[in-house]
A = this chain, B = another copy of it.
Amino acid sequence: MPISQLRRGRGSVIHGDFQQRIRNSFARQRAMETIGAELTRVEHGSVEIELNFDPKLTQQHGFLHAGVISAALDSACGYAAYSVIDPDASILTIEFKVNLMSPGRGERFLFRGDVTKPGSTIIVADGRAYAISDGPAKLIASMTGTMMVIRGREGITG
């Protein structure tokens, strides 16, 4: 992991093998498995999750449910935050806002989270969701989330 030894990205130190920590944590998120989400890209301050369309994830009009979009965006934003903190800390989402811009219609969906403002206690991350079919990806939703860095709270690791 040479990348993890570099310093870069928004003034933060890179803490060891954050990629492995994120993969371990993602694997513990049963909800991500339930919706069929995969972690497809992990960089310092930026994480991508992808998902195939599945009829079991639809709202009443047959599009991807806003809650599924939120779940994947929240995970992408949360892990983007998790990628910039020290190995002993953990991340909890305090709040997020989602704007649903176009129906969740597509064969596959990409959810990207990026750290906008790192911090020792509060991290702000922004996410974007895209529907992918033939042709260019279409922006379907955006998120801004506020994450809290947690240290030393029992039962909250990863």
Hey, which bits of chain A sit against chain B, CB under 8 A?
25-26, 28-35, 55-62, 65-68, 70-72, 74-75, 90, 92-102, 116-117, 119, 121-122, 124, 126, 139, 142, 144, 146, 148, 155-158
Contact = CB atoms under 8 A, between A and B. Distances in A.
Contact of A94 (B55, B68, B146): B146
Contacts of A148: 121-122
B34 A34 contact: yes
Contacts of A156: 61
A157 B97 CA distance: 26
7 contacts: A28-B62, A29-B65, A66-B70, A71-B71, A97-B97, A101-B117, A116-B139
Main secondary structure of the interface of A (DSSP, over half): mixed
Contact of A56 (B34, B57, B119): B34
A122 B94 contact: yes
B72 A67 contact: yes
Of all A-B residue pairs in the complex, the 7 with the closest CB atoms, nearest first, are: A67-B71, A31-B65, A97-B97, A70-B70, A28-B60, A101-B117, A95-B99
Contact of A142 (B29, B68, B99, B124): B124
Given A94-B94, A95-B95, 17 more contacts: A29-B59, A30-B55, A30-B57, A30-B58, A32-B65, A61-B90, A61-B155, A65-B74, A67-B68, A70-B71, A70-B74, A93-B100, A97-B144, A102-B117, A116-B139, A121-B121, A121-B148
